[in-house]
Structures are given as C-alpha cells and as structure tokens.
C-alpha cells in the first residue's frame, strides 16, 4: 500500500516522521495532525506544493503527484483556545431563554459526532465517562498517541486517545472522535470493515465495550463442576474471570435478578475420564470478587444460521435503579460484605427516623432524599483496603445504560443514557444531547422496537461518612500531625 514519511510544518513548529497512507481517507491524516497539534480537523488547511488536501474520500491527482518520502506539508489553522473570544453577552434569565439556550445553561455534556455508523463507539465512550476513577486513571497516563503500525503500541494509543477525547469533552465541546476511531481501527481491524457502499459497517457496541474495558473492570467467579451420573467422581474446582456479568434471556426471565441467578448454574456434557465416556455435568458459579463498577450485558442477540444474522430478542426485562448482588456471592465473600452492609442499614434506619420526625416522610421518600443529599457528601471507601477497585457492600446504583434500536446487531442504532444528578439523566444520541427524567430510563427495558437496554453500568452505592467517624478521622489526623511535629529531626 502507498505509504510515505512526511513532515508537517505549522507556524514555527515542524513535526517529522508523519505517516501518510493514501489507501486511507485524508481524514486519517487530519486525525494524526489533530493529535500532534491540537488543531481540530475542521480548522485545518493542509497544502502540498500549492495543492490542498480536502476532506473528501479521495486525495486528488495534484496531491498524489507531490507526495513522496520527506515531503513537507504546510498546515494552516488555529487551536480553538487560540481564537479570540467574542465580548461577553448581557446576562440572560431562564424565563427569557428558548429550549436550546436552557439546555446550554444546564451544563450539558459534550456530544460526539457520528462519523458513519460509529454510534456504537460514541455510546461506549459516553457510558465509560461516567466512571470518575476511570478518568482519573487515564489522566495519570503520560504516553501519547502513536499512528505507526507496531501492534505493541495499540493499547498505548487507545488509552491516550481516550484520555485526550474525554478531556476535550469536559470543556463542553461537541466534536468528531477522529483520533480514537483511527487507533481503534488500527488495533481492531474488524471495526474498520466497510459496506458495499463504501461507508463503515455497523458494529456491536458490546464488542467495542469489552475491547476498551479489558484492563479496567473484572469479576471473579468460584466454579465447581460436578458429574451428576457418578457420586464417586471428584468435583472439579477452579476460578474464572469475566469483564462483565452476562444476563441470559429465556422464556421465564422477566426481571434482571432472575437472569443473573440463571447465570450461576448450567448443564453441560463432556468426556468423563472417571467413567470413560461422555456424561452430564452441572457447573455452579459463585461470585468471589465484585468489581467497583459492574457491567451487565443483556444477551439479546442470537445467531440465526438460516438468515446469517444476529437476531435480537426484544423481550421486556425489567432492571432496577438499585441492585443488591449479595445472593450471587460465595459464602466467604458474603461474610466480608456484612460489616459495610450493617453500616448501610444503620445509616438508612437513621435517615428514615429523621425524615419521619422532621417532615413526616415515608420510608421510600426519606431514603430517596437521603441518597440525593449524599451525592455531594464525603463518603466511606467503597472497596476493600486490600483489593483496590472492588466493592465491599454488594450494593450498586445504576449510572449508565447503553441501548440498541433495531432488529439485529448488524444494523440499527446505539445510544447512551447517563445519570447526571438526582432524577436527571442525559440522553446522549451522538451529538444530540438532551435531559430526561429517570422514569424514561426505566422504559428502556424492551418489549418492542424502541431503544432497548443492551448494557447496564452499575456503580458502587456510596455511604456518607457519619459525623462520629468524621470527627474520629480528624482527631487521628491531628494526632498523627502532632507526633510528626514532636519527632526530632534526623541529621546526617
């Protein structure tokens, strides 16, 4: 394939060793230049010996004629922050705003432009962006995006491009996720497959989700495999690790809880060395490690051999805003969860009692109000001290839903629905972002051709630090500081 090593000159800066592959669209080059300079693609004007490289799918005869190793491309364009701002407008009150202005005033999250069947990637990014620990980890990563063909740099490039994209989104700017798309295509060529019309094919959002999440989330299951045809054959015990919890859907599953329990036992046939023949076994699983953030995949696609398509199961499966995973866990893990669960019970009993005394609120209203008030409060650690990133209570709260609308994974549309605060959620439909009520999220459970929950992201329920524990912590900090001050300084 025609590849060239060129230089890019921008103002007083020169970037050597930029790769140009003319089998790819010019937008790929613009994505690389965006990663190097911060000049967004729509602000770039790139020239080569008087010829301009455009955003078209073809390069143009004059550009191809001048392309060679060592050629210098001239870049003209400014980063957005370098552009002079307009004078501050007169303050406008909410009652004088139209709908679009009100949405802007609500600090709406940034949208992501659809680059041609890239809604699966946009929805994945919007859901992952709701995990603050994920963003913190990304910002600690100091490497930059690489566009070379070395496969060992793919994890580096995906991590760096996710970091840069989310930081730009934090500024409230709707933008095209060009850099992430290109490094994703290089790392996983199946995502770059094109249709007979030349555009990108629709991809499965869960495949994208798993590839991006590979190092950040994880469940551990204790497993036992027992032969039901022989009492004398020893039980096989082991551990298995998964990035997400699969909820299998059958005719009896109507609620998420029953689908999750079904995952814990399955029948299987395999060769028995003890009986020297094929035999029936039962495989039993119990969760032995809960992650801080739990991803549940609603297994809605089944491959139909006759039609050669992943057909969708449209069945309505209700999912909760609050999820308790205690019954899914091994006895050992359950014992470890008990202390934090007792703290939650004591806290909830207290706020229910206070709500009844002060405002005459019922149990559910008091708990709801308490959860909303705790969103901005200092909270207890949600993980075990010896296992960072785990969950120490078994309690989770829904914070993002990724939906699919359509009849197969090869078509349709993906959208992210993310919690903002209280009962306010955001529908992130590529670059169209709008606020919705939590009740609208609960309607995404399926049953028709409307948007149907495909991935559920549950974050840890967080317990506010009690005044007693807060005072104790402050006293311990002060005591520690005093002991340090009293300690004589060592000299060499």
Alpha carbon distances (Å) from 362 to 130, 321, 372, 390: 31, 19, 16, 33
Distance of CA 224 to the CA centre of its chain: 31
Lookup: tokens for 266: 């399955």
Nearest-5° Cα angle at 459, 454 to 464: 155
Task: Annotate 328-355 with b (16+ C-beta within 10 A) or e (fewer).
Answer: bbbeebbebbeebbebeeebbeebbeeb
Torsion angles phi and psi, residue 240, rounded to 5:
-130, 145
Would you give the DSSP letter of residue 192? G
Distance CA 73, CA 247 (A): 52
Encoding tokens for residue 452? 């149907």
Do the Cβ atoms of 456 and 325 come closer than 8 Å?
A: no
* Alpha carbon distance 84, 67 (integer Å): 34
- Per DSSP, the three-state class of 6 is strand
Contacts of 344 (CB under 8 A, 6+ apart): 393, 395, 461, 463
**DSSP secondary structure code for residue 148 in this structure:** S
Look at residues 122, 121, 167 and name the one whose alpha carbon lies nearest to residue 141.
167
Task: Give the whole-angstrom CA distance, residue 286 versus residue 56.
Answer: 54
Inter-residue contact 108 to 172 (CB < 8 Å) = yes
CA distance 445 to 435: 19
Q: Which two tokens stand for residue 121?
A: 């990637």
What is the per-residue DSSP string for 274-287?
TTTEEEEEEEEEEE
CB 45 within 8 A of CB 76: yes
Q: Could you give the residue numbers annotated as active site?
A: 119, 413
CA angle 140, 146, 151 (to 5 degrees): 105
């Amino acid at each position: 394939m025609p590849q060239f090593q060129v230089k890019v000159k921008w103002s007083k800066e020169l970037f050597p060793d930029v790769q140009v592959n003319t089998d790819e669209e010019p937008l790929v080059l613009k994505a690389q230049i965006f990663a190097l300079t911060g000049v967004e693609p729509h602000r770039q004007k790139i020239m080569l010996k008087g010829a301009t490289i455009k955003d078209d799918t073809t390069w143009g005869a004059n550009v191809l004629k001048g392309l060679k190793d060592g050629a210098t491309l001239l870049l003209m364009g400014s980063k957005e922050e370098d552009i002079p701002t307009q004078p501050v407008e007169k303050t406008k009150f909410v009652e004088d705003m139209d709908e679009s202005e009100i949405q802007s005033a609500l600090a709406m999250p940034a949208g992501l432009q659809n680059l041609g069947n890239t809604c699966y990637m946009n929805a994945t990014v919007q859901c992952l962006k709701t995990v603050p620990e994920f963003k913190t980890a990304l910002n600690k990563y100091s490497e930059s995006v690489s566009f070379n063909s070395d496969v060992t740099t793919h994890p580096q490039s995906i991590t760096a491009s996710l970091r840069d994209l989310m930081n730009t989104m934090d500024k409230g700017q709707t933008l095209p996720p060009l850099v992430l798309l290109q490094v994703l295509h290089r790392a996983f060529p199946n995502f770059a497959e094109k249709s007979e019309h030349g555009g990108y094919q629709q991809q499965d959002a869960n495949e994208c989700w798993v590839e991006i999440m590979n190092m950040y989330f994880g469940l551990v299951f204790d497993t036992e495999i027992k032969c039901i045809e022989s009492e004398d054959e020893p039980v096989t015990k082991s551990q298995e690790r998964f990035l997400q919890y699969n909820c299998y859907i059958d005719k009896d599953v109507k609620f998420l809880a029953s689908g999750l329990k079904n995952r814990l036992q399955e029948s299987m046939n395999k060769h028995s060395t003890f009986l020297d023949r094929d035999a029936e076994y039962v495989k039993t699983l119990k969760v032995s490690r809960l992650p801080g953030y739990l991803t549940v995949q609603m297994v809605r696609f089944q491959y139909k051999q006759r039609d050669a398509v992943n057909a969708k199961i449209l069945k309505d499966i209700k999912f909760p805003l609050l999820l308790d995973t205690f019954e899914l866990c091994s006895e050992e893990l359950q014992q470890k969860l008990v202390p934090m669960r007792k703290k939650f019970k004591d806290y909830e009993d207290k706020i229910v009692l206070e709500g009844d005394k002060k405002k005459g609120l019922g149990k559910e209203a008091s708990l709801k109000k308490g959860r909303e008030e705790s969103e901005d409060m200092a909270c207890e650690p949600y993980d075990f001290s010896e296992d960072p990133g785990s969950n120490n209570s078994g309690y989770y709260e829904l914070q993002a839903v990724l939906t699919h609308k359509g009849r197969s994974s090869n078509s349709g549309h993906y959208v992210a629905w993310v919690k903002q605060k209280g009962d306010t959620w955001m529908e992130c439909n590529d670059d169209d972002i709008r606020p919705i009520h939590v009740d609208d999220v609960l309607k995404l459970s399926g049953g028709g051709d409307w948007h149907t929950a495909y991935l559920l992201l549950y974050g840890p329920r967080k317990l506010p630090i009690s005044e007693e524990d807060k005072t104790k912590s402050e006293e311990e900090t002060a005591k520690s500081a005093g002991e340090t001050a009293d300690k004589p300084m060592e000299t060499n």
